[in-house]
A and B are shown apart, each in its own frame.
Chain A
Amino acid sequence: MTTILEVSDIDAGYGPVQVLRKLSFTVDEGEVVVILGANGAGKTTTLRAVSGMIPSSGSVRFRGGEVRGRRPDQLCSLGLAHVPQGRGTVTDLTVEENLRLGAFSRKDQAEISADIASWYDTFPRLGERKDQQAGSMSGGEQQMLAIARALMSRPTLLLLDEPSLGLAPLVTKELFGRISEINRSSGTAVLVVEQNANLALGIASRGYVLETGQIISSGTAEDLRNDDAVRQAYLGH
Chain B
Amino acid sequence: MSESSTRSSGAYGVLGAAWAVALERLAIGPVWLRKAVAYALLAGVLYWIPTYFASYQVTEYTRIMAFALAALGLNLLTGYTGQISVGHGAFMGVGAYTVAILVTDHGVSHLVAIVIASLLSFVLGVVVGLPALRIKGLYLALVTLALAAMFPQFIKRFSDITGGSSGKEVPRLRPPEGSGLVQDQWIYYLTLVVVVVVFVLVRNLVKSRVGRALIAIRDNETAAETMGVNVTAYKLGVFGVSALIAGLAGGISVLREPFVNAGLFNIDLSITLLVIVVIGGVATIFGPAIGAIIAAELPTVTQDLVAGRFPDFKVDPYRPVFFAGALILLVFAAPGGITGAFKRIGAEGRIQLIQKQMLGRARQVSSGGPDSPP
Query: What is the interface of chain A, defined by CB distance below 8 A to chain B?
Result: 14-15, 17, 19, 40, 44-45, 84-91, 135, 137-143, 161, 166-168, 170-171
Closest B residue to A143 by beta carbon equals B366
Q: What separation, in Å, do the CA atoms of A141 and B362 have in the docked complex?
A: 17
Contact (A14, B371) CB under 8 Å given A84-B362, A88-B364: no
Query: B372 and A86: CB pair below 8 A?
Result: no
CB atoms of B360 and A86 under 8 A apart: yes
B357 in contact (CB, < 8 A): yes
Nearest A residue to B365, CB-CB = A86
B369 proximal to A (CB < 8 A): yes
Other-chain contact of A140, B354, B360, B372 (Cβ < 8 Å): B372
> Do residues A138 and B372 form an inter-chain contact, with CB atoms below 8 A?
yes
Shortest beta-carbon distance, B184 to chain A, in Å? Answer: 53
A225–B372 CA distance with the chains assembled, in angstroms: 27
Encode B328-367 as 1/0 by CB contact (under 8 A) with A: 0000000000000000000000100010011110101111
Write out the residue numbers on chain A whose beta carbons fall within 8 Å of the beta carbon of B350. 15
Contact B364–A45 (Cβ < 8 Å): no
Residue from the set B350, B366, B370, B372 with the largest chain A CB neighbour count within 10 Å: B366
Asked whether, in the complex, the Cβ of A140 is within 8 Å of the Cβ of B358, the reply is no
Interface residues of B in 259-278 (CB under 8 A from A): none
Q: A17 — which chain B residues lie within 8 A by C-beta? A: 354, 358
A171 touches B371 (CB 8 A): yes
Bin chain B's interface residue count.
10 to 19
In the complex, residue of chain B having the shortest beta-carbon distance to the beta carbon of A42: B358
* B354 near A89: Cβ-Cβ < 8 Å: no
Give complex CA distance A140, B358 in Å.
Answer: 23
Cα distance A231–B365 in the bound complex, in angstroms: 30
B44 interfacial contact with A, CB 8 Å? no
- A-B contact number at CB 8 A: 72
Complex-state Cα separation, A176 to B340, whole angstroms? 53
How far, in whole Å, are A66 and B373 apart by their CA atoms in the complex?
41
Q: B364's contact among A89, A140, A171, by CB below 8 Å, is which?
A: A89
Chain B residues with Cβ below 8 Å from A135 are 364, 366-367
Please give, as numbers and ranges, the residues of chain A lying within 8 Å of B365 by CB-CB distance: 86-87
Given contacts A14-B354, A14-B357, whether A166 and B364 have CB atoms under 8 Å apart is: no
Q: Which of A19, A45, A85 contacts B362 (CB 8 A)?
A: A85
> Which residues in A have their C-beta under 8 angstroms from that of B358?
14, 17, 19, 40, 44-45
B176 within 8 A of A: no
Asked whether B311 is an interface residue with its Cβ less than 8 Å from the other chain, the reply is: no
Q: Please tell me which one of the listed residues B360, B368, B372, B373 contacts residue A85 in the complex, with CB atoms under 8 A apart.
A: B360
A167 to B370, CA, bound (A): 10
Please provide the 7 A-B residue pairs with the shortest distance between their CB atoms, ordered closest to farther.
Answer: A138-B369, A86-B362, A86-B365, A139-B368, A85-B360, A139-B372, A142-B366
CA separation between A182 and B350, bound complex, in Å?
41
Secondary structure dominating the interface of B: loop
Q: B356 → chain A, closest Cβ, in Å?
A: 9
Q: B368–A138 contact, CB under 8 A?
A: yes
18 contacts between A and B (CB under 8 A): A14-B357, A14-B358, A19-B358, A44-B360, A86-B365, A87-B362, A89-B364, A91-B366, A137-B369, A138-B369, A138-B370, A138-B371, A143-B366, A161-B360, A166-B368, A166-B372, A168-B371, A171-B371
CB distance from A82 to the nearest CB of B (A): 12
Nearest CB on B from A178, distance (A): 15
Residue numbers in A under 8 Å from B372 (CB-CB): 138-140, 166-168, 171
In the bound complex, do residue B354 and residue A86 qualify as a contact, i.e. CB atoms below 8 Å apart?
no
Task: Please give, as numbers and ranges, the residues of chain B lying within 8 Å of A40 by CB-CB distance.
Answer: 358
Kindly list chain B residues whose C-beta atoms are within 8 Å of the C-beta of A90.
Answer: 364
Given A14-B354, A17-B354, A140 and B371 touching (CB < 8 A)? yes
10 further contact pairs, Cβ within 8 A, besides A40-B358, A138-B369: A14-B354, A44-B359, A45-B358, A84-B360, A86-B360, A87-B362, A137-B366, A138-B366, A139-B372, A167-B368
Complex CA–CA separation, A193 to B247 (angstroms): 59
Chain A residues within an 8 Å CB radius of B368: 138-139, 166-167
State the CA gap A170–B358 with chains docked (Å). Answer: 28
How far apart are the CA atoms of A166 and B365 in the complex, in Å? Answer: 10
- Give, as a whole number of angstroms, the nearest-CB distance from B343 to chain A: 16
CB-defined contacts of A140 to chain B, threshold 8 Å: 369, 371-372
CA–CA, A194 and B358, complex, Å: 15
Query: When A86-B365, A87-B366 are in contact, do A167 and B371 touch as well, CB less than 8 Å?
Result: yes
* Residues of B contacting A19 in the complex (Cβ-Cβ under 8 angstroms): 358
Chain B residues lying within 8 Å of A139, measured Cβ to Cβ, are 366-369, 371-372
CB distance from B111 to the nearest CB of A (A): 53
**Interchain CB contact under 8 A, B364 and A87:** yes
Nearest B residue to A145, CB-CB: B366
When C-beta atoms are compared, the residue in chain B nearest to A54 turns out to be: B357
In the complex, how many angstroms separate the beta carbon of A50 from the nearest chain B beta carbon?
Answer: 15
